[in-house]
Chains A and B, each alone.
Chain A
Amino acid sequence: MSYPEKYKYAKSHEWLAVEGETGTVGITDYAQDSLGDIVFVELPKVGQEIEAGSTFGSVESVKAVSDLYSPATGTVTEINESLNDAPETINTAANETWLIKLTLCSRLPSMRSLWRKRLGTKTFCKPTLATMKPSRRWATRGCG
């Protein structure tokens, strides 16, 4: 599991790359590993304004649904449409697979509370079959 230095990380396990006014968002290697085989990605529309800390879409594996939380405030300029057909790319290369690009809002530095430089796995809920609330983050279903 690697966390490239060039990214900033949200507690909710998204990464953000900042280049000038453009922010690029993906999910961490830990997030993809926790989810398992990713089969579905729901992304916002180009032009949509999203706020730091709010949901902008979801990622679904066979077992789990996870909301995506934006690590920054801005306007969506591009979405990675290749994920419609090949969502599993996130499993093979989470750090290189971006989900959306944003024109960042200047409020960015004030959102410090969202950042974490390194992610301890302890802050992350493990999926449990006992919690049968599908809309909850990382919740999974019962089986067997």
Chain B
Amino acid sequence: MTSTETLSPLRRTALHATHHAHKARMVDFGGWDMPVQYRGLIDEHMAVRTGVGVFDVSHMGDIQLRGPSSLAAVQKLLMNDASKLAVGQAHYSAMLYPNGTFVDDVVLHKLGDNDYLIVINAGTREKDVAWVRSVIGNMTGVHVNDFSDYYTQLAIQGPKAEATLQKLTGVDLRPIKNYWFTWGTVCGCHNVLIARTGYTGEDGFEIYIPSDEPTSARVWGEVLAAGEEFGIMPCGLGARNTLRLEAAMALYGHEISDTINVLETHLTRYCKLDKGTDFVGREALLKIQADGGPARKLVALEMVERGIGRDGYPVTTVGGEKIGEVTSGSPSPFLKKNIALAYVPLAYTDVGTEVGVEVRGQVVKAVVVTMPFYRRPKIGAAPITAPLS
């Protein structure tokens, strides 16, 4: 017997041809051929901070849990307290391994009383679906569906996101609060999930439309046309990364992973150890807490001297002794500073602490600053708070 091995081709979203038509620069992201930038990362970043930008985030996965035991299943699977969610509300949460480290971070939507939608990351999709099925095991009264391929997910982000999307739907968007959602007709598509969520630290919406190519391309085009008066730009994963970093939102494989436990992160307020039901990872976290807590924490760093601390660069004492590692680091297009997130021992976590970042053999001075680096200005009376801060 012989076996043939073929390289699996990169996966494509329904908007792949559209991205090429826009002359986007494409990259392999977690096995997906995705746009990293269109016209320029900085312009795209600034469009989202000051106007509006649109992202194709169809590579994200969508798992639905339905049935009379779905709440119990979600409570066992995720660290946040899903019993606090109302229908039409979403929150940030995470799936943990029994040792308290991360399978993935997710946004959980309560679609109905026995109906939940978990939005997961692209690079971890298959692993996540398998994990959900294994944790739920033979629990009765819950049905798991992987709907990832059925949706084209567009993120319309920026202070002009509401005005842009409002032109394409009869649904009044104003009453939708941050991390709430509704359904409605968008660009002629019925029952589109419209969520006031995002991964940019800016106000904005994520819409879930049918994933057939003609519909996806048409809606994408209509969003761009609607946002034209606000200077809308199609935005790639490059700007998505710098935007989320300014807002100190976690990225799997960087700030969170299967070697980092929740108590070390800045996400502890989304972890409800006392929610009344057990969840995977809880026991290990309680034990870490009882044993004196984590030895390291995630901090926000700003480079003081010339140099850019990037992912994986060592963090040192001012004297050059290695104490940690940068998880994400980049020039910040909006703040025009060089910023980084890093894990360091507790003794170095106070705001104002001076540390070093080893940039290609040279120790460059940095300082611990308040997290997040960027928080969007509050608009009027809208009850908007940064989702991760």
Compute how far the CA of A65 lies from the CA of B307 in the bound complex, rounded to whole angstroms.
Answer: 11
B331 touching A143 by the CB < 8 A rule?
no
CB distance from A42 to the nearest CB of B (A): 8
A128 touching B238 by the CB < 8 A rule?
no
Q: Which interface residue of A130, A133, A141, A143 has the most chain B CB atoms within 10 A? A: A143
Interface string of B90-103 (1 = CB under 8 A from A): 00000000000000
Does B320 have its Cβ within 8 Å of any Cβ on chain A?
no
List the A residue with the shortest CB-CB distance to B237: A144
**Count of chain A to chain B residue pairs whose CB atoms are closer than 8 Å in the complex:** 91
Contact of B251 among A62, A127, A143 (CB under 8 A): A143
Given the complex, which residues of B lie within 8 Å of A40, measured CB to CB?
Answer: 306-308, 331
Does A8 have its Cβ within 8 Å of any Cβ on chain B?
no
CB distance from B372 to the nearest CB of A (A): 17
CB distance from B124 to the nearest CB of A (A): 12
Interface string of B217-261 (1 = CB under 8 A from A): 000000000000000000001101110100000010110000000
CB distance from A56 to the nearest CB of B (A): 13
Does A37 have its Cβ within 8 Å of any Cβ on chain B?
yes
B27 touching A140 by the CB < 8 A rule?
yes
A129 touching B36 by the CB < 8 A rule?
yes
List the A residue with the shortest CB-CB distance to B27: A129
The answer to whether residues A142 and B41 also contact, given A60-B308, A62-B330 and a CB cut-off of 8 A, is: no
Contact of A143 among B241, B310, B360 (CB under 8 A): B241
Given the complex, which residues of A lie within 8 Å of B37, measured CB to CB?
Answer: 36
Does A135 have its Cβ within 8 Å of any Cβ on chain B?
yes
The answer to whether residues A37 and B313 also contact, given A58-B360, A62-B242, A142-B254 and a CB cut-off of 8 A, is: no
The answer to whether residues A36 and B238 also contact, given A60-B308, A135-B360, A143-B29 and a CB cut-off of 8 A, is: yes
Does A39 have its Cβ within 8 Å of any Cβ on chain B?
yes
CB distance from A92 to the nearest CB of B (A): 11
B237 touching A129 by the CB < 8 A rule?
yes
Does A137 have its Cβ within 8 Å of any Cβ on chain B?
no
A127 touching B41 by the CB < 8 A rule?
no
Given the complex, which residues of A lie within 8 Å of B308, measured CB to CB?
Answer: 39-40, 60, 65
Does A132 have its Cβ within 8 Å of any Cβ on chain B?
yes
A134 touching B313 by the CB < 8 A rule?
yes
Contact of A129 among B29, B57, B242, B313 (CB under 8 A): B29
Count class of interface residues, chain B: 35 or more
B36 touching A63 by the CB < 8 A rule?
yes
Interface string of A19-45 (1 = CB under 8 A from B): 000000000000000001101100000
Interface string of A110-144 (1 = CB under 8 A from B): 00000000000000001111101111000011111
The answer to whether residues A143 and B238 also contact, given A63-B36, A132-B311, A134-B313 and a CB cut-off of 8 A, is: yes
List the A residue with the shortest CB-CB distance to B36: A129
Compute how far the CA of A128 lies from the CA of B33 in the bound complex, rounded to whole angstroms.
Answer: 10
Interface string of A58-69 (1 = CB under 8 A from B): 101111010000
Compute how far the CA of A134 lies from the CA of B358 in the bound complex, rounded to whole angstroms.
Answer: 12
B240 touching A65 by the CB < 8 A rule?
no
Does B34 have its Cβ within 8 Å of any Cβ on chain A?
yes
The answer to whether residues A36 and B41 also contact, given A63-B36, A141-B328, A141-B330 and a CB cut-off of 8 A, is: yes
Does B312 have its Cβ within 8 Å of any Cβ on chain A?
yes
- Between A and B, 12 residue pairs with Cβ closer than 8 Å are A40-B308, A62-B331, A65-B360, A130-B29, A130-B30, A134-B313, A141-B311, A141-B330, A142-B254, A143-B251, A144-B57, A144-B199
Q: What 3 A-B pairs come out closest when comparing CB atoms?
A: A143-B241, A144-B237, A134-B310
Binding site for A on B (CB under 8 A): 25, 27-30, 34, 36-37, 40-42, 57, 59, 122, 199, 237-238, 240-242, 244, 251, 253-254, 306-308, 310-313, 328, 330-331, 333, 360
Sample of 7 more A-B contacts, CB < 8 Å, known A37-B333, A132-B253: A37-B41, A65-B310, A130-B28, A134-B313, A141-B311, A143-B241, A144-B57
